[in-house]
């Protein structure tokens, strides 16, 4: 009787809260049926989760309004997420985790990780809006991912899409004039809600329909993350991924240089997953146009590169402690000595009179080499990719 009177007196409040109250009335089946007539199912939103602070807050702000939120994370192969942190022996202080999964755990939210490696190739290789400062097709990328979220929404019966975008935060994809481009080209239109800057944008369908309260959304703008960090503190969030960091290797000048070098050496713009994973690891040196060395920087990278020994010619240092070196390209017999002299420079025998290697050809044949390490001034800066 208490709940019947409550509904009669405050029907709107009851409708907003009833899905939280029903769990305590399971044993009262007739009453629960009556309650359900007053209780519309909560709206469902899908949030793009990168693992950074902005996407975490965007999802949380909407969750706090009683909306059911699930996350999407798209795997392109270029995401920084946990890859190098997990491999490098020297980065023990970095958490060895996938930040997108960690965010989902913190928010009690289901996360769907979707492999888009093949589909993403067209985005990177033929960006309609071009590249940013490096090889980052940010505007095309965002439109692609929101478009994939729209497809997922339609297939799974969700109501709207959430992103952590903030006006003016990114120079290419998050300008006031490009935010509408993402909504339009993705096909999401006004199903796309950006909770952190919504009050600077025209009201979206979720706001107009009252699925979310626009007054409880935000009007953040600019590149400073201080407002987001203050909001995180309000929610009691003390740990999160570095707010100013990106999550994509394509924004990194060094990585972009390696990818351009790969395309130039091949004579065409193409790549496979192993290619882009290897570009994240080791020192890359190209002493001759037809071959490149990938020299591990520590024991962790050496262990990782060992998984590729069957696919590349390589050098294993035998007389001293030192890194594994992969050799990519068409390697002539005479190239091995130069490659070994370079590799010796990065091992414990760099000052020795001679360093020995086991040289393994691409066909599996082997030979032993003993070389004099190159001195630092014998390794030109322009060999480094």
Q: Is the pLDDT confidence value at 168 over 90?
A: no
What's the rounded mean pLDDT across residues 234-252? 79
How do 44-48 and 68-75 pair as beta strands? parallel
What per-residue confidence (pLDDT) applies to 20?
Answer: 37
Domains by residue range for the chain, with CATH: 2-38 (no CATH), 44-248 (3.40.50.620), 281-383 (no CATH)
pTM, to two decimals: 0.82
Q: Is the pLDDT confidence value at 28 over 50?
A: no
Going by C-alpha positions, the residue among 132, 127, 170 that lies closest to residue 252 is 132
- pLDDT-based confidence at residue 169 (cuts at 50, 70, 90): confident
pLDDT in tens, 298-351: 999 999 999 999 999 999 999 999 999 999 998 887 899 999 999 999 999 999
- pLDDT-based confidence at residue 59 (cuts at 50, 70, 90): very high
Note the residue count of the chain. 385
What per-residue confidence (pLDDT) applies to 334?
Answer: 83
What's the rounded mean pLDDT across residues 129-144? 94
87-101, 103-117, 315-329: the lowest-pLDDT one: 87-101
What's the rounded mean pLDDT across residues 15-44? 47
Query: H or E stretch including 289?
Result: none
Could you tell me the CA-to-CA distances from 253 to 135, 175, 284 in Å, in that order?
A: 8, 22, 14
């Amino acid at each position: 009787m208490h709940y019947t009177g409550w509904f009669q007196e405050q029907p709107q409040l009851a409708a907003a809260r009833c899905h939280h109250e029903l769990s305590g009335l399971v044993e009262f089946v007739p009453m629960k049926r009556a309650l359900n007539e007053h209780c519309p199912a909560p709206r469902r939103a899908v949030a793009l989760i990168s693992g950074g602070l902005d996407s975490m807050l965007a999802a949380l702000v909407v969750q706090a309004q009683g909306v059911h939120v699930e996350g999407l994370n798209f795997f392109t192969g270029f995401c920084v997420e946990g890859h190098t942190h997990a491999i490098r022996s020297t980065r023990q202080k970095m958490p060895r985790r996938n930040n997108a999964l960690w965010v989902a755990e913190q928010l009690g939210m289901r996360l769907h990780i979707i492999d888009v490696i093949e589909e993403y190739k067209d985005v990177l290789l033929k960006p309609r809006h071009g590249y940013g400062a490096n090889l980052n097709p940010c505007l095309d990328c965002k439109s692609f991912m929101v478009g994939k979220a729209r497809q997922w929404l339609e297939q799974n019966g969700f109501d709207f899409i959430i992103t952590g975008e903030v006006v003016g935060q990114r120079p290419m994809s998050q300008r006031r004039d490009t935010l509408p481009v993402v909504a339009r080209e993705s096909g999401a239109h006004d199903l796309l809600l950006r909770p952190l800057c919504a009050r600077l944008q025209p009201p979206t369908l979720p706001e107009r329909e009252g699925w979310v309260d626009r007054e409880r959304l935000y009007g953040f703008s600019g590149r400073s993350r201080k407002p987001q960090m203050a909001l995180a503190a309000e929610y009691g969030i003390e740990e999160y991924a570095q707010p100013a960091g990106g999550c994509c290797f394509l924004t990194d000048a060094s990585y972009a240089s390696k990818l351009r070098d790969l395309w130039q050496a091949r004579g065409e713009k193409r790549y496979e997953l192993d290619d882009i994973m290897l570009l994240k690891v080791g020192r890359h040196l190209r002493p001759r146009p037809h071959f490149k060395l990938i020299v591990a920087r520590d024991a962790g990278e050496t262990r990782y590169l060992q998984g590729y020994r069957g696919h590349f010619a390589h050098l294993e240092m035998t007389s001293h402690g030192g890194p594994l070196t992969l050799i990519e390209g068409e390697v002539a017999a005479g190239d091995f000595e130069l490659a070994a002299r370079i590799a010796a420079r990065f091992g414990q025998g760099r000052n020795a009179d001679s360093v020995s290697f086991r040289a393994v050809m691409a066909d599996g044949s082997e030979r032993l080499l003993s070389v004099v390490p190159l001195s630092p001034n014998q390794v030109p800066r322009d060999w480094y990719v």
